[in-house]
């Protein structure tokens, strides 16, 4: 899967329509700037309107340029990340669920029975202080339940290595709302090797690893494309084995 097809790609432009609340807010701010520049003289409303429009157009040009630049940068980062190998994640301390390896899959990676197990691993980065992360947990639990019969593993990964007790208490409080594996990134390798390389600037953020152990998707776990990609990759995953 190419970088261009991940959720972090440049989205299609919306169709022209009524002014958005964002545009109205920008224009209101521009009007305020124009009034301030005139020393609060509002006797010539027509002139104020034209002045505000001038600032508005300038602001929209600046926003467009910065948006295009960040989209270009994001896609460049994704191109170097999606479908590319990454260094093994070594310091996960699991506080819920069974440990799952997070690494590229060697060609001779067989389980103890001698048959190769094809796993899909979803690394979802979160933190106890992150309210959007907490709101995302039930959705991730539903996805985990949906693919419970396949070797599809969701791991919630936090870097709060100095707050193990806080993380454990949070996970206990969440209960079935967080019905998937949870781990602490004790050495920072998960964040360095996956989150940072994905170009993400915030959490929650999910990285889907294929059965070949390479990233195939990177983005917000509430993005509808997230579950589509997990479902596609799950078709290649082995059936889930019964616990021994």
Instruction: Give per-residue pLDDT as tens, 22-62.
Output: 788 887 887 887 777 777 676 677 787 777 888 788 888 88
111, pLDDT greater than 60: no
pLDDT digits (tens, 9 = 90+) for 158-177: 999 999 999 999 999 999 99
Compute the half-sphere exposure of residue 223: CA atoms within 13 Å on the CB side of its CA: 21
Enumerate residues 6+ apart whose C-beta is below 8 A from 83: 1, 2, 3, 214, 215, 216
Per the CB < 8 A criterion, the answer to whether 81 and 199 are in contact is yes
pLDDT at 232 over 80: yes
User: For all residues of the chain together, what is the average pLDDT?
Assistant: 83
pLDDT at position 40 is 66
* Residue 161: per-residue pLDDT: 94
Classify strands 152-158 and 181-185 as parallel, antiparallel or unpaired.
parallel
Count of alpha carbons within 13 Å of 222, Cβ hemisphere only? 9
Report the C-alpha gap between 214 and 51 in whole angstroms: 53
Tokens of 226: 């997230």
Q: Are strands 205-209 and 120-125 parallel, antiparallel or unpaired?
A: antiparallel
DSSP class of residue 193 equals I
Cα angle 100, 104, 211; round to 5? 70
User: Which residues, at least 6 apart from 145, have a Cβ–Cβ distance to it below 8 Å?
Assistant: 179
Question: Which is it for the CA torsion 235, 236, 242, 243, positive or negative?
Answer: negative
Q: Write a three-state SS string for 98-154.
A: CCCCECCCCCCCCCCCCCCCCCEEEEEECCCCCHHHHHHHHHHHHHHHHCCCECEEE
pLDDT for residue 9 is more than 50: no
């Amino acid at each position: 899967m190419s970088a261009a097809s991940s959720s972090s790609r440049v989205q299609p432009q919306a169709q022209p329509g009524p002014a958005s609340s964002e545009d109205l807010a920008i224009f209101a701010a521009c009007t305020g700037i124009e009034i301030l520049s005139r020393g609060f003289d509002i006797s010539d409303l027509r002139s104020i309107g034209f002045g505000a429009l001038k600032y508005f157009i300038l602001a929209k040009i600046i926003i467009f340029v910065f948006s295009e630049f960040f989209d270009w940068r994001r896609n460049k980062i994704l191109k170097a990340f999606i479908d590319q190998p990454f260094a093994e994640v070594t310091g996960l301390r699991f506080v819920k669920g069974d440990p799952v390896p997070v690494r590229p899959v060697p060609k001779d990676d067989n389980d103890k029975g001698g048959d190769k197990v094809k796993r899909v691993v979803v690394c979802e980065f979160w933190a106890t202080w992150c309210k959007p992360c907490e709101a995302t947990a039930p959705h991730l639990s539903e996805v985990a339940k949906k693919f419970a019969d396949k070797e599809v593993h969701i791991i919630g990964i936090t870097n709060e290595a100095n707050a193990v007790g806080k993380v454990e208490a949070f996970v206990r409080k969440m209960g079935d709302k967080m019905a998937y594996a949870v781990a602490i990134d004790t050495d920072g390798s998960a964040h360095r090797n996956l989150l940072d390389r994905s170009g993400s600037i915030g959490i929650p953020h999910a990285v889907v690893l294929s059965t070949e152990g390479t990233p195939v998707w990177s983005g917000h776990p509430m993005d509808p494309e997230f579950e589509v990609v997990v479902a596609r990759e799950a078709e290649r995953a082995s059936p889930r084995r019964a616990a021994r």
